[in-house]
């Protein structure tokens, strides 16, 4: 007799828990299949110097680097920009930029106005390299190790909290692991 009432109640409670967890997840955070894989090879013209190139080779010149996908039309990029500037000033980890589907002049003007935290930015005008990197929403930031393997990907603007809790531990570990 008791079980007859307890069973639906139990099922209901299980559903509530399931939905609560499901609603708490962010559907925009699609796990990237690129994690722990070799970063896609690419060669792009540099944003500031179109005749020079920027490619995967530059990413393996240090034990760890950040690759930030950005665009002047991207609102959330502006939001994370001050923090990228701060990171660049600290100089712990080199930041490379991938300027995604942007007009060169717009991108350069944007960096002039807000500051340029990037060592180099590649200019991906048609977004083809972005597709190889599985980019679907700017800004996105990849942590790439010295062998050119993607170790972490963050979708959306980097906040100090995201940096402290998610990205910095990965970066530190790679830096301590030696080249």
* Positive/negative CA dihedral, 122, 129, 44, 154: positive
The whole-angstrom distance between residue 163's C-alpha and the CA centroid of its chain comes to 11
Q: Is 32 in the site for other proteins (CB under 8 A)?
A: yes
In the list 34, 85, 125, 170, the residue contacting other proteins (rule: CB under 8 A) is: 34
Going by C-alpha positions, the residue among 129, 126, 143, 152 that lies closest to residue 29 is 152
Residue window 2-21: x/- pattern of binding to other proteins, with contact defined by CB under 8 A: --------------------
Expressed in angstroms, the distance from the first to the final Cα of the chain is: 67
Count of residues that interact with other proteins, criterion CB under 8 A: 18
How far is residue 63's CA from residue 34's CA, in Å, rounded to a whole number?
A: 19
Please, which of residues 60-119 interact with other proteins by CB under 8 A?
101
In the list 10, 82, 137, 169, the residue contacting other proteins (rule: CB under 8 A) is: 137
**Contact region for other proteins (CB under 8 A) — 32-40, 61-69, 81-89, 91-99?**
32-40
How far is residue 112's CA from residue 138's CA, in Å, rounded to a whole number?
A: 20
Residues near other proteins (CB under 8 A):
27-28, 30-34, 101, 126-128, 130-134, 136-137
């Amino acid at each position: 007799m008791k079980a007859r009432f307890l069973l639906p109640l139990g099922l209901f409670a299980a559903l509530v828990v399931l939905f609560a967890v499901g609603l708490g997840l962010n559907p925009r955070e699609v796990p990237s299949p690129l994690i722990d894989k070799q970063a896609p090879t690419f060669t792009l013209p540099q944003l500031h110097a179109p005749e020079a190139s920027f490619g995967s080779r530059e990413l393996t010149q240090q034990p760890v680097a950040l690759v930030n996908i950005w665009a002047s039309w991207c609102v959330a990029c502006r939001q994370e920009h001050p923090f990228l500037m701060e990171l660049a000033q600290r100089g712990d980890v080199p930041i490379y930029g991938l300027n995604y589907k942007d007009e060169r002049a717009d991108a350069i003007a944007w960096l002039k106005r807000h500051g340029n935290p990037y060592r180099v930015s590649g200019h991906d005008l048609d977004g083809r390299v972005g597709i190889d990197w599985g980019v679907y929403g700017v800004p996105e930031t990849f942590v790439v190790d010295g062998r050119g393997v993607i170790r972490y990907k963050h979708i959306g603007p980097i906040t100090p909290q995201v940096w402290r809790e998610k990205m910095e531990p990965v970066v530190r570990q790679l830096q301590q692991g030696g080249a």
